[in-house]
């Protein structure tokens, strides 16, 4: 299994550097602000409220999900969609959106998090209602994508998988459920494909959260080369403001996975993380918290492994948002080859009559020059409701340095947008 990445889109290369890519993306942006363009507006029928980051196929299409909208009337406002956005043909400017499937409650409702794709072009994802699904591309001569429910999570295995799935080379999926489990505070689970001659996928609970070790894991997971999993909880831990955790596979001859809290947020250094982590290949992690920091508007942080002979991880706040530069980042980060970081904030930025606290921002954090320690933050774009409102998830980027993402609301119909930020 693999994620889409490093594929051509409109003669450019899109790179998704949220998990295994870490800081290895091959794009760069100037420090100056960029130009924000709306590529598509959601209108309800084609989906509403895109909630996960985009991924890109090897043919240049962008795939994503909307939390609501679509053809079904089972859910108030629609049960959500999986969509395909095709870049303009040569000489054209308009992107084309196609709904690949509309959820109807029975097959799931409220898809959240990013999609994952395999080499055959199948898409995998999760819904708030607890279904893990596979969406297969049309067979020869057909036009419709085919959806299969791989499993339905329960309160025992964990419910409401808010974050994205993570896949390994054996076809297993790993995820975090916000609630459920033995103590109701969420789980880390593994979904294994059917064994030979079988059809049923198997769900295993790897970790159950108990508040002291975290509560409500709301981000997706990443993994290192030895199979350890890393993620964050939005609550719990030593101070109740969330944690960064590690889940280690069983030792030889053992069965149980082991969870370790690497750090607990305390408000001052951040609180309530929702976005996923990225790594720089040196063992450092980078992420965002939606609250906390000097103005309680959220932070970008770095978490460094213990020095030789020590066991304590070291957290550094790289920036605290103050409102003018953004508020409440809930998406994860991406990074360029120089180690600069890019992300979004739900609110803040330039004030408008429709967004008195700002409609959200796209920001860049520039890595300190040699011998320096301070990161420099730049607002690349501010939303104004017409071009989007409340960007909640990760960005992706192309080799020219253009950024792409979605907003949960705003746009021509108020139901969200897909946008591009160019130089």
- pLDDT band of residue 281 (cuts 50, 70, 90) is confident
Q: Is residue 113 part of a domain?
A: yes
In the chain, the largest separation of any two C-alpha atoms, in whole Å, equals 63
* Residues of the chain above pLDDT 90, percent: 77
Tell me, what's the pLDDT at 140? 87
> Residue for token digits 């406002």?
77
Tell me, what's the pLDDT at 60? 78
Structural domain for 295, as ranges? 7-422
Check if the beta carbon of residue 269 is closer than 8 Å to that of residue 297. Answer: no
Q: Is residue 109 part of a domain?
A: yes
* Residues of the chain above pLDDT 70, percent: 92
Mean pLDDT over 296-324 rounds to 96
CA 266-269-271 angle, 5° bins = 60
Report the distance separating Cα 103 and Cα 145, nearest Å. Answer: 13
HSE, CB side, 13 Å, CA atoms: give it for residue 173: 28
CA 171-343-243 angle, 5° bins = 65
Tell me the per-residue pLDDT of 232-246, one tens digit each, with 9 for 90 and over: 999 999 999 999 999
Q: Is residue 1 part of a domain?
A: no
pLDDT at 104 over 50: yes
pLDDT at 147 over 50: yes
Token pair of 212 as six digits:
């002291």
- pLDDT band of residue 9 (cuts 50, 70, 90) is very low
Tell me, what's the pLDDT at 285? 98
pLDDT at 269 over 60: yes
Q: Which residues are 322's β-sheet partners?
A: none
Higher pLDDT, 370 or 243: 243
Q: Is residue 2 part of a domain?
A: no
Contacts of 243 by beta carbon, 8 Å cutoff, 6+ apart: 213, 214, 232, 233, 236, 237, 261, 262, 263, 264, 265
Higher pLDDT, 165 or 351: 165
- pLDDT band of residue 351 (cuts 50, 70, 90) is confident
Tell me, what's the pLDDT at 16? 31
Report the distance separating Cα 15 and Cα 21, nearest Å. Answer: 9
How much is the mean pLDDT over the chain?
Answer: 90
Tell me, what's the pLDDT at 323? 94
Mean pLDDT over 279-295 rounds to 96
Helix, strand, coil shares of the chain as percentages rounded to 5? 0, 45, 55
Q: How far is CA 283 from the centre of its chain?
A: 20
pLDDT at 363 over 60: yes
Q: Is residue 199 part of a domain?
A: yes
Mean pLDDT over 47-64 rounds to 89
pLDDT at 29 over 60: no
Find the range with the poorest average confidence among 5-14, 81-90, 165-174: 5-14
Tell me the per-residue pLDDT of 398-422, one tens digit each, with 9 for 90 and over: 888 899 999 999 999 999 999 999 9
Q: Is residue 100 part of a domain?
A: yes
Tell me, what's the pLDDT at 352? 77
Tell me, what's the pLDDT at 240? 97
CATH of the domain at 186: 2.130.10.10
Q: Is residue 204 part of a domain?
A: yes
Residue 274's closest CA among 116, 81, 64, 113?
113
pTM: 0.91
Mean pLDDT over 34-47 rounds to 94
- pLDDT band of residue 32 (cuts 50, 70, 90) is low
Measured CA to CA in angstroms, residue 343 lies from 53, 57, 93, 421 at distances of 11, 22, 26, 12
Domain count, the chain: 1
Residue 379's closest CA among 132, 94, 36?
36
Measured CA to CA in angstroms, residue 294 lies from 242, 300, 315, 379 at distances of 17, 12, 15, 18
Tell me the per-residue pLDDT of 207-231, one tens digit each, with 9 for 90 and over: 999 999 999 999 999 999 999 999 9
């Amino acid at each position: 299994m693999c994620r889409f990445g490093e594929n051509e889109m409109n003669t450019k290369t899109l790179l998704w550097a949220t998990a295994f890519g870490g800081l290895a993306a091959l794009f760069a942006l100037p420090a100056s602000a960029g130009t924000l363009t709306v590529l598509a507006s959601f209108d309800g029928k084609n989906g509403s409220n895109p909630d996960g980051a985009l991924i890109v196929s090897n043919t240049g299409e962008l795939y994503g999900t909307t939390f609501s909208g679509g053809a079904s009337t089972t859910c108030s406002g629609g049960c959500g969609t999986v969509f395909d956005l095709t870049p303009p043909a040569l000489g054209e400017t308009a992107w084309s959106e196609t709904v690949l499937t509309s959820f109807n409650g029975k097959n799931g409702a409220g898809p959240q998090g990013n999609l994952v794709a395999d080499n055959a072009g199948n898409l995998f994802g999760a819904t708030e209602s607890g279904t893990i699904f596979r969406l297969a591309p049309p067979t020869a001569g057909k036009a419709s994508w085919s959806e299969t429910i791989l499993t339905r999570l329960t309160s025992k295995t964990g419910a409401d998988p808010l974050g994205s799935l993570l896949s390994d080379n054996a076809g297993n999926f790993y995820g975090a459920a916000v609630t459920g489990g033995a103590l109701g505070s969420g789980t880390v689970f593994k979904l294994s494909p059917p064994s030979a001659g079988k059809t049923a996928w198997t769900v295993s609970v790897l970790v159950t959260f108990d508040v002291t070790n975290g509560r409500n894991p709301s981000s997706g997971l990443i993994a290192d080369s030895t199979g350890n999993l890393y993620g964050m909880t939005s609550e719990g831990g030593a101070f109740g403001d969330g944690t960064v955790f590690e889940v280690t596979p069983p030792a030889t001859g053992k069965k149980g996975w082991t969870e370790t809290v690497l750090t607990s947020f305390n408000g001052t250094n951040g609180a309530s993380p929702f976005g996923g982590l990225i790594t720089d290949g040196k063992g450092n992690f980078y992420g965002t918290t939606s609250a906390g920091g000097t103005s309680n508007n959220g932070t970008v942080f770095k978490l460094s492994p213990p020095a030789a002979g020590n066991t304590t991880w070291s957290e550094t706040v790289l920036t605290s948002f103050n409102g003018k530069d953004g508020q409440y980042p809930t998406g994860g980060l991406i990074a360029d080859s120089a180690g600069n970081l890019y992300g979004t904030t739900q609110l803040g930025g330039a004030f408008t009559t429709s967004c008195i606290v700002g409609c959200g921002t796209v920001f860049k954090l520039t890595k300190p020059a040699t011998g320096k320690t301070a990161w420099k933050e730049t607002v690349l774009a501010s939303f104004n409701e017409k071009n989007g409102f409340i960007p909640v998830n990760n960005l992706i980027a192309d080799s020219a340095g253009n950024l792409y993402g979605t907003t949960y609301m705003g746009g021509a119909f108020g139901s969200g947008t897909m946008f591009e930020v160019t130089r």
